[in-house]
Each structure stands twice: as structure tokens, then as C-alpha cells.
Amino acid sequence: MIKVNFQLRRKKLLEKINEGTIILFSGREIHFSADEAYPFAVNRNFYYLTGIKQKDTYLFLNKQKEKLFILPNDEKLARWVGYNLFVNEAKDVSMCDDVETFENEDFLKEIAQQEKVIYLDFEETSFLGGVNQAKRIQEELLSFNKNLTFKNIHDEILSLRAVKDEDEIKALRYSIEITKKSLEAVMSNITKLKTEKECQALFEERIASLANAKTSFPTIAASGMNATTLHYSTNNQEFKYEDMILMDLGASVNLYNADITRTYPHLGKYSSLQKQIYEIVLNCNKKIIEMIKPGLTILDLQNETKRLLADGLLKAKIIENNDELSEYYFHNISHHLGLDTHDPMNRTIPLVPGNVITVEPGLYIRKLGIGVRIEDDVLVTETGSDNLSKDIIKEVKDIETFIEEHK
């Protein structure tokens, strides 16, 4: 278990403000139907600063003190759903010495009457549905003091999350290692498996058994023509004779997400046409990883990706001019990675050491029934980059040899 210094992260956040109090909230369950709720997912900014994953928890933070408010334990309810963290457990996890349980939110009235400036995490959540918890807290605070000034702390937290500390890099390496081992289980059985669903099931069973991991996002196991749909996730088709299987997936351990894509031949060997398309994508993947260094932007990587893919397709006589590329490549080369599979960072800001990004070129050629994507997770270093997923094989010869040896 990696011991994370959450107290240091909070200290770094406080250095970004001059006055006032930061209030962060872990989140609440969202109603699904009847007496059911969606599985609770903690606000990632809250988790980043506390390490606490449970609902209805508040963090108060200013230059003078920090304090956590957690739900008390109800013995009867605990028999149904288990216990919340006890005070001593919350202190140990968060490294916050001042932890208190609460029955109601009277402490909001107290802070509203004491402060002039309040920082809240006004994350844009309109596309997600549910209640924007920062706005809810703001309305409650204003009901006690209409003269409060509110500021948004969201971007300051994201700027910290963008640069991964050593604990985070260790966590990501572990999630990637679990993904690697689980993908190898799929590769070992690829010629025996008959459906997309079987590939998905084998991968997800393996990450659960190895590390009690969850998936970083819904697993994509797309064969044949399905692989030309970017976010295909039905995963219910039987394999046809010479299909390739595009698998976009990842293990999430302690909320840190791997995001890997590999494209395998169902029969264990790529056809000459499949190999030709695959090598264009692979060459682009490797060239972009070599290119990464501080100071470049993801937009720079995208422009070079388009040049490399277009050049490959022109040489293969699949396109006649660069303008045709958009029919076969229509997404971005990269996104930031961490507590969110798509960490919400600005892609026009220059990369710095500590950023972790994906590199995921692809070609989706419907007229040939071929979709190929190859994705790695890459750490930006002082001098260039470190491919965190380099041990997940992707060369044609290595993949074909591995499958042959495990038939």
C-alpha cells in the first residue's frame, strides 16, 4: 500500500490563495430508481487532497487550520451497508488532525458568519446531471451571509493534479502492470475465444482477481468493423475468421487509471493488409512518444500525428491527398491521465515534467473493415519521456510470437 502525503498536497494548494477558506465536498449518491442509487463515486479533487472515498464529507481549509467533517456511524444502518470511517481512521488516511462527526450542517452557518471569502470547487457538471454540490453549498452559505465573496478553486486544484508526484506515478505504474498481466491473459487465449464479450469478461475477471481492481472505463472489445467505431462498447459480436480485436481498456486501482489500447489478430497472425495498416499506426505511436518533451503541447503532437498518418496512408495508396485523412482519423492523439481517465487539463498548455498523457493514434477504415488503435501511457520527464506501458508488447513479431507460444 502506497502511503500518500495528503497534508503536503493541501499545503501546496493553500500557497495558491491569499485569504479566505476553501470548502470541498466529497459528493452524494445520485438517485437511480425506486430505492436504488448509482454506485457512489467520490469527487476526484476531494480525494486528491484527503484520500477519503466516502460520501457526505467536508474539508475546510485555510491558512490557520484544516478540519474534516464526517458522517457518524449508525449501528443499525451499518448492519445493512457497513461502517463509515471512524474519526481515528479518517485522521490516519487524510493526515488531518482535526476530524469531527456531524448530524447536521450547522458548521456552514458558523463559517459563513466568520469569513468574507469562500473558495468552492465550481466544476462544470451540467452535462453529468444531478446537483452541482458547490452551488448547493454556495446557496446555503448565502442564506446565512449575503455579503460573502465566492471564488473558484477548481483550476488551482487541477494545476496540482496535472503534475504527478512520486506517489501518483507509483500508483499509475501499478495500475498499468495489472492491465498488462490481464491483457496477457486475453492474448494467451485469443485464438480460443469466440466473442467480444469473452475477451471483456476474461480481462475484467483477471484485474479483479489480481488487485481487486475495477475498470478505468467501460471496456472496449471491438472486432472487425466494430473497431472502426471509436467508443464501441456493445461487445456482443462473434468473431469472424480473420478479424482483428481492438481492446481499449484499463485497470483502476485506488482510483488511478491505466488507459491502454492494443489490436490483436484473432487467428494469431495479421494478414498482409492488416499488418500494413497496423504498422502505419505503430510507427506513428513510436514517433510521437519519441517526440514528447517539456514545452510541447498536445496540439503539437496532434499536428505531427496527422502528418505521420497521412504520409503512411499516401504511401499505401489508401488516400490520394492529405485532406482525406479526416475520414480515417478523427480524434485527438492524447489526453492527460490520472484520477480521471481523461484528467481535465487544457491541451494547449505546454507540457511539463510530471505530466502523464496518453499517446493513441488510430486508423478506422470502414471500406476495408479495419480499425487499429495503439495506446500507451507516457510520463513527461525533464529530458523527454518515459513510456510507463512499454512492457505491454505491441510489435507485430512480438504479438504473433506470444500468441503462438500460448496456444
- Collect all residues with Cβ–Cβ distance below 8 Å to 8 and sequence separation of at least 6: none
pLDDT the model gives residue 4: 86
Contact 62, 53 (CB under 8 A): no
Three-class SS of 77-144: HHHHHCCCCCHHHHHHHHCCCCEEECCCCHHHHHHHHHCCEEEECCCCCCCCCCCCHHHHHHHHHHHH
246-286 pLDDT, tens digit each: 999 999 999 999 999 999 999 999 999 999 999 999 999 99
- Grid coordinates given for 107: 458548521
Can you tell me which residue has the cell 451497508? 81
- 124 with 185, same domain: the answer is no
Of 161, 188, 212, at which residue does a domain stop?
A: 161
The mean predicted confidence, pLDDT, of the chain is 95
Mean pLDDT of 146-158: 97
**Worst-scoring range by mean pLDDT, 27-41, 115-129, 179-193, 333-347?**
115-129
* pLDDT(6) > 60: yes
Whether pLDDT at 27 is above 60: yes
Is 310 part of any domain?
yes
Residues 201 and 69 in one domain: no
Domain final residue, candidates 140, 161, 182: 161
C-alpha cell at 242: 480473420
Range of the domain at 277: 163-405
Average pLDDT, integer, range 120-126: 76
Q: Please give the share of the chain, as a percent, with pLDDT higher than 90.
A: 93
- Domain CATH for 341: 3.90.230.10
Question: What is the reported pLDDT for 153?
Answer: 97
**In whole angstroms, what is the distance from residue 28 CA to residue 43 CA?**
9
Mean pLDDT of the region 223-244: 96
Confidence check: pLDDT of 364 > 90: yes
Q: Which residue has the cell 499536428?
A: 303
Range 384-405 average pLDDT: 98
pTM: 0.96
Amino acid at position 378, single letter? V
Residue 108: predicted pLDDT: 96
Longest dimension (CA), the chain: 72
pLDDT in tens, 182-207: 999 999 999 999 999 999 999 999 99
Does residue 1 lie within any of the structural domains?
Answer: no
- If one counts the domains in the chain, the total is 2
What's the whole-number mean pLDDT along residues 163-179?
A: 97
Contact 278, 270 (CB under 8 A): yes
C-alpha 122/C-alpha 137 separation (Å) is 10
Indicate whether 119 belongs to any domain: yes
pLDDT value of residue 346: 85
Q: Identify the band that residue 126 occupies on the pLDDT scale cut at 50, 70 and 90.
A: very low
Q: Given this model, what pLDDT does residue 123 score?
A: 82
Are residues 120 and 215 located together in one domain of the fold?
no
Distance CA 222, CA 201 (A): 13
Residue 225 CB coordination number (10 Å): 17
Q: What is the pLDDT of residues 72-121, one digit of tens each?
A: 999 999 999 999 999 999 999 999 999 999 999 999 999 999 999 999 99
Q: What is the pLDDT of residue 127?
A: 45
Look at 3 and 287; give whichever has higher pLDDT: 287
* Region 25-32 average pLDDT: 93
For residues 107 and 248, state if they share a domain. Answer: no
pLDDT at residue 125, as a whole number: 56
Among 356, 364, 276, 286, CA closest to 312: 276
Residue 52 and residue 153 share a domain:
yes
pLDDT beyond 60 at 321: yes
For position 1, what pLDDT does the model report?
55
